[in-house]
């Protein structure tokens, strides 16, 4: 009996690997990043394209306007007027997020100002088109609801921090949230792309880490955590000396996200892991019980 090996021509062909869906260029936690490709394409077909230069304002606090901006590219700051005529930084937004949607829902004046940090691009969507789309697309409607809920949770955490946490905890918590939402790999670190949440929280000791994508000054960080600039400066120096962060001019790199999350508190340590995906098709309530 022949013991010759079978030639490759006689071996069965390996099964073809299933095609992998293209990865979204937006953070997983953003509105666009959370959508399936088909829903995302339908959403991005709404409205018309607009572009912004650094310092250009998309909306102004107190002014009328009922359009939403589906952000595609760039960084944006959300500002609110203070009593002394200065503007306080409330939050940051990036490509994949949506701004101005509240005015679409209630037709009230703008609740904040949104300004482009650098060059940016978006889809400008009118109120009727926006609401009409959400009325017929359950997946998109559910995603927008989650996005609005995420913003409310962010605001609630900031208020809770102001009342019950020391400045070290507040700064650590803010940096963890920014790193998980907007972080990307730096050098030889373990970040896995812009804001996609696939971050294991450790530095490899070779200059790597998680760079926070948005540029924030120390006064802006101080505004976000409700502390004085000198106090935030001391806290950042302490975190830097402990090897948890590295700072430069408008630059922050998180060197050890797990340790920083421990400083921030166990309730935010879960942010290191990606959030579970939203259901593909959320149930629609019976027509007779839907609000009008």
pTM over 0.75: no
- pLDDT reported for residue 26: 81
pLDDT 10s per residue in the chain (292 long)? Answer: 544 444 444 545 544 544 445 566 887 778 999 999 999 999 999 999 999 999 999 999 999 999 999 999 998 989 888 777 778 788 889 899 999 999 999 999 999 999 998 899 999 999 999 999 999 999 999 999 999 998 888 777 767 666 668 899 989 988 988 888 777 765 433 333 344 443 444 443 335 688 887 778 888 888 888 889 999 999 999 999 999 999 888 789 999 998 999 998 845 445 544 444 444 444 444 443 333 3
CATH of domain 32-158: 2.60.120.10
- What the block records as the tokens of 38 is 């088909």
**Which residues lie closer than 8 Å to 127 by C-beta, 6 or more apart?**
66, 67, 68, 103, 104, 107
Distance CA 186, CA 193 (A): 9
- pLDDT reported for residue 292: 34
From first CA to last CA, the distance across the chain in angstroms is: 82
Report the candidate in 265, 93, 277 with the shortest Cα–Cα distance to residue 195: 93
CA angle at 167 for the pair 248 and 205, rounded to the nearest 5°? 45
- pLDDT reported for residue 13: 52
**Cα within 13 Å of Cα(10), Cβ side:** 4
- pLDDT reported for residue 271: 52
- What the block records as the tokens of 98 is 């949506």
CB 79 within 8 A of CB 16: no
- What the block records as the tokens of 56 is 């250009």
Report the candidate in 276, 270, 150, 275 with the shortest Cα–Cα distance to residue 201: 270
Q: Say how many C-beta atoms besides its own lie within 10 A of residue 37's C-beta.
A: 10
Report the candidate in 71, 66, 20 with the shortest Cα–Cα distance to residue 43: 71
Give the start-to-end residue ranges of the domains of the chain: 32-158, 166-272
Distance CA 30, CA 180 (A): 11
- pLDDT reported for residue 193: 38
Give me the residues paired with residue 59 across strands. Answer: 114
* Alpha helices (H) in the chain, listed in sequence order: 37-44, 101-106, 127-136, 138-164, 167-182, 218-225, 229-241, 257-264, 266-269
- pLDDT reported for residue 232: 93
Same topology, domains 32-158 and 166-272? Answer is no
Distance CA 46, CA 25 (A): 19
CB 104 within 8 A of CB 130: yes
The four Cα atoms 238, 154, 194, 209 give a dihedral, to 10 degrees, of 20
Q: Is the domain 166-272 a CATH 1.10.10.10 member?
A: yes
- CA 66 to chain CA centroid, Å, is 23
């Amino acid at each position: 009996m022949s013991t010759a090996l079978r030639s490759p021509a006689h071996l069965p062909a390996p099964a073809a690997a299933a095609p992998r869906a293209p990865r979204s260029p937006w953070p997983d936690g953003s509105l666009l990043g959370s959508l399936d490709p088909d829903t995302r394409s339908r959403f991005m077909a709404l409205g018309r394209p607009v572009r912004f230069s650094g310092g250009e304002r998309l909306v102004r606090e107190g002014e009328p306007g009922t359009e939403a901006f589906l952000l595609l590219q760039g960084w944006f700051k959300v500002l609110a007027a203070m009593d002394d005529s200065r503007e306080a930084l409330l939050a940051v937004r990036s490509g994949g997020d949506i701004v101005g949607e509240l005015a679409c829902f209630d037709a009230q004046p703008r609740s904040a100002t949104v300004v482009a940090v650098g060059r940016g691009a978006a889809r400008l969507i009118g109120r009727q088109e926006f609401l009409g789309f959400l009325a017929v697309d359950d997946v998109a409607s559910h995603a927008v609801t989650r996005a609005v809920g995420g913003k409310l949770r962010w605001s609630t955490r900031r208020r809770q921090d102001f009342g019950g946490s020391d400045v070290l905890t507040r700064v650590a918590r803010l940096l963890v949230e920014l790193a998980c939402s907007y972080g990307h790999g730096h050098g030889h670190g373990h970040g896995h792309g812009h804001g996609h949440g696939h971050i294991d929280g450790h530095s490899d000791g070779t200059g790597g880490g998680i760079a926070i994508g948005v540029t924030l000054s120390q006064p802006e960080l101080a505004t976000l955590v409700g502390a004085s600039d000198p106090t935030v400066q001391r806290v950042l120096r302490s975190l830097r000396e402990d090897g948890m962060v590295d700072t430069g001019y408008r630059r922050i790199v998180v060197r050890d996200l797990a340790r920083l999350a421990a400083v921030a508190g166990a309730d935010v340590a879960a942010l290191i892991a990606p959030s579970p995906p939203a259901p593909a098709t959320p149930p629609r309530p019976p027509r007779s019980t839907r609000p009008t």
